[in-house]
Amino acid sequence: MVIVGAQWGDEGKGKVVDLLARDAEAIVRFQGGNNAGHTIVRDGEEFKFHLIPSGILYSDKTCVIGNGVVVDPRVLLGEIDGLRRAGVSVANLRISANAHLIMPYHVLLDTAGETKLGKLSIGTTRRGIGPCYADKALRLGIRVQDLLDEKILRTKIRAALGPKQQALRELAVQRRKQRKEVGEEMRGAPEAVDTPDPRLDVHTMVEEHVSFGHRLEPHIADTARLCWEALDADKTVIFEGAQAALLDLDHGTYPFVTSSNPIAGAATVGAGVGPTDISEVWGIAKAYATRVGAGPFPTELEDETGDRIVERGHEFGTTTGRRRRAGWMDLVALRYAVRLNRMDALAVTKLDVLSGIGPLRVAVRYRSKEGAVLDSFPYHQSILHSATPEYEELPGFDEDLGECREREDLPAAAHDYLRYISEFVGVPVRLVGVGPGRDQVVWLD
Ligand code: IMP
């Protein structure tokens, strides 16, 4: 089965994957990188992951970083060390030999690209995701398997760095300009614009990455084959998406998107399985909407209600700490995500956050600036940017939902809210989140 984000990310996918993983043989990440962040609270202990699949807390499951993921080896090793310190075994972690590596120059180019865009910047996580996927498409990428052969690694790093010299020179110029602007004293000889960053020294980079390779070697595998073996033995494999439908490179709010495809169909390419291997698709949506970074967000609330949602929902990024933008549930966008992923079911998370917020609004259509009614998510960027949502108002609820465990525990207004969502988008809501804890959920059928 595939589990994907149904909005703009941060829906709490990690917690749902952690729950559903109980019956699975393997949990497989298929796209994205350490731009993602999952927080799982187990027995009062908080675990934060960026790259490692959420199933790692089960010692008997295989956790796979698939070929479609972009891996920053330094970050991955940091997570492995952190888990070991917490007494969690990583013996069952497998990393695709074909996954691409985020190299130091990707991180620098991401930041440089954003700085250069100025007001038009995307608000990326600056983790090097876009430049790494760009190199993959250009066939200049370095893959996990390259860590195991120093000679190949050196040749590939040299080949990849070559075409970037111009961009990196610009980066050096920019750095100088910025330092001048903030009045930072230039010590010693001024930085020559054609001297690349010391972090980009080929020799250092190769040495460092060879040592990463030594440490990661026991985990490197043919992960597609691992998936086939589990699927052919009729075992459950969970394909865990990062980010979400509206950040999809092809179907999201381009260019304000990530550089991979976080939708169910991409699980096949990003893990190496066929479409008919996928039996079920679950989408995860928050009971409201949030977005981090720039880009259109029709139901955004820039008022006290938005602030309350942010405070009550602790809407700050796991990866960058940025304050998320918050707004009402957008059913036009959600219905689009449901179809795009051909979802079978939804899990609605953080319903407890809406308690005491007052009458709840859900966007049921948009209106273009010319006055046209838009029932479906507009493909045209300019229309979407200027569209205003039209709302249905539903009664709110004031009860604290944190202790609800059975469907009967939820107040009637909460049921009505969930029913409205489910009927509007045409799939059942099967699971509801009522707090951060692993047990703070209500199964609806
Ligand atoms: P990138 O993925 O770092 O290139 O960022 C591209 C866009 O996707 C930015 O708007 C980011 O804020 C957003 N983004 C990337 N990863 C996540 C995530 O895990 N949750 C929410 N937004 C994300």
Size (the chain), residues = 445
Catalytic entry in 18, 23, 38, 375: 38
Q: Which of 6, 1, 2 is nearest to 340 (CA)?
A: 6
Which mutation among 51, 124, 284 tests ligand 1's pocket best, with the greatest number of atoms within 8 A of CB?
124
Known catalytic membership, residue 10: yes
- Residue closest via CA to ligand 1's atom 10 equals 293
Q: What is the pLDDT of residues 286-295, one digit of tens each?
A: 999 999 999 9
Helices (H), 295-411: 304-312, 331-341, 381-386
Instruction: Read off the pTM.
Output: 0.93
Please tell me the distance from the alpha carbon of residue 354 to that of residue 400, in angstroms, as a whole number: 10
Question: Could you tell me the CA-to-CA distances from 116 to 18, 72, 109, 110, 113 in Å, in that order?
Answer: 39, 23, 10, 10, 5
Least confident of 66-80, 113-127, 328-342, 390-404: 113-127
pLDDT value for 445: 76
How far apart are alpha carbons 269 and 66 in whole angstroms? 9
Residue 402 has what DSSP assignment? Answer: T
- Protein residue whose Cα sits closest to atom 12 of ligand 1: 293
CA-nearest residue for atom 1, ligand 1, is 124
CB of 315 within 8 A of CB of 324? yes
pLDDT of residue 238: 97
Tokens of 268: 């096949």
Pocket test for ligand 1, best of 29, 35, 39, 284 (most atoms within 8 A of CB): 35
What share of residues in the chain are helix, strand, coil (percent, to 5)?
40, 20, 40
- Across residues 407-422, what is the average pLDDT? 97
Peptide bond into 255 cis (omega under 30): yes
Choice among 33-42, 155-164, 294-303, 346-355 with the minimum mean pLDDT: 33-42
Q: Separation of 84 CA from ligand 1 center, angstroms? A: 28
**C-alpha 133 chain-centroid distance:** 15
Query: Are 240 and 53 a contacting pair, CB within 8 Å?
Result: yes
Cα 210 vs. chain centroid, distance in angstroms? 28
Whether 156 contacts 162, CB under 8 Å: no
**Distance, C-alpha 226 to centroid of its chain:** 24
What is the pLDDT at residue 430? 97
Amino acid at 144: V
Residues with CB under 6 A from ligand 1: 9-10, 35-37, 122-125, 127, 129-130, 242-243, 247, 256, 258-259, 292-293
